[in-house]
Amino acid sequence: MAQQVGGTGLEEAIRLTLRDLAGLVPRLAASVITGAVLILVSVLVVRLVSRLLRLSRIDEILDPVFQRYGVPFTFSSLVNGLLVFALTLLTLYASIVAGFPEYGWAAAEIVTVTARIASVFVMILLVYVTINYVTEKLRMEKGLRGFMALVLFDISLILLVDVTALSPVVKQALAWGLSLGLGLSIAVFTAWYFFGRRGETAGQQA
């Protein structure tokens, strides 16, 4: 009797699962088709923009400026990268919404979070470029370059903490700690940089 009930339950479960899966097929198909079409359109748009940028020869004008500031990419690759990023998000969003409109909020959330992560990377890149430029400009020694790398690491860490899924309290504590550490290390470095020699001379005299 129990076997019969169990057998019926399993059959029922399999039937329901298959029905659910069958119900998902058209929605998945809509998602996949939308994604495929948008990927195709994206490839065409990226090719068009690449061709337009090549035609404008903007890199010939901006490359010397970018090299001077130690920017590790060209203007065209920046525009292309931003375009690919936006088109990827668009494709992702559209394919979710096409098949599963009730999860539109989730798609929007994915786009927002991805954009935040991307903005952190952009900030890190900007800090890297700036520090690189300052290091080059002041012709710093090897040790100082190491310090600059430490500063860059600290700043990147603070920015990364902002996009993590930690609780607000932990986030705040980490950000405070890292910021204090960063401020202190800059203060110690500045004191050593400007008054280090005087200290050494005083030490020798003593």
Partner 1 sequence: MLVAEAGTAGFYIAITRGLAPVLLAFLGLGVDDVMLVVLIAYAVALSVLVVLRGRGIRRLRRSLVLLHGLERVVWGLLPLAALLGAVATILVYSLAVSLATVTGLLITTTIFSVFDEKGARRVIAHRSAASAASNILGQLVAIIVLAAMHTYSKYIYLYLLASGVGLVATAILALSRLPLPSSVGAARTSIGGEEEAVSGTVFLYMVAYMASAAVLAAAWAPYMIHVLGAPDYLAAGLGFVQMVTSIAASLYWLRVPYPVYKYAVLALPWIPVAIAASRTPVLHLGLASIYAFSATGANLLASFLYADLSRRLGAFASSTRVAMAAATAQVVGLSTALAASRLGLWAVFASSAAYAALAAFIALYSLPEIALVPREQAVVHARRLYMVTSAALGFVIVVSKRAIILALRVLALVLALSILLFTYRLLYYLVALPH
**Residues within the interface to partner 1 (CB under 8 A):** 45, 48-49, 52-53, 55-58, 79, 82-83, 86-87, 89-90, 93-94, 104-105, 108, 111-112
Question: Shortest gap between Cβ of 100 and partner 1 (angstroms)?
Answer: 14
Smallest distance from partner 1 to CB 44, Å: 11
Nearer to partner 1 by Cβ, of 121 and 193: the residue is 121
3 state SS of 74: coil
Other beta carbons within 10 angstroms of residue 34's beta carbon come to 17
| Range list of H helices, the chain | 2-56, 58-68, 75-99, 104-138, 142-163, 168-205
Shorter beta-carbon distance to partner 1: residue 97 or 155: 97
17 to 1, 103, 164: CA distances (angstroms):
24, 21, 35
* Nearest distance in Å: CB 71, partner 1: 18
CB of 202 to partner 1, least distance (A): 58
User: Running DSSP on this structure, what letter comes out for residue 71?
Assistant: -
Considering beta carbons, is residue 86 or 123 the nearer one to partner 1?
86
Alpha-carbon distance of 91 to 146, in angstroms, equals: 41
Extract long-range pairs of 43-52: CB within 8 Å, 24+ residues apart: 45/83, 45/87, 46/80, 46/83, 46/84, 46/87, 49/79, 49/80, 49/83, 50/76, 50/80
Query: Among residues 87 and 186, whose Cβ is nearest to partner 1?
Result: 87
Tell me whether residue 56 or residue 172 sits nearer to partner 1 (CB atom): 56
Rank residues 73 and 195 by Cβ distance to partner 1 and give the closer one.
73
**Nearest by Cα to 177 from 198, 154, 197:** 154
Least gap, CB of 45 to partner 1 (angstroms): 6
State how far Cα 144 lies from the chain centre. 28
State in angstroms the smallest separation of the CB of 107 from partner 1.
Answer: 8
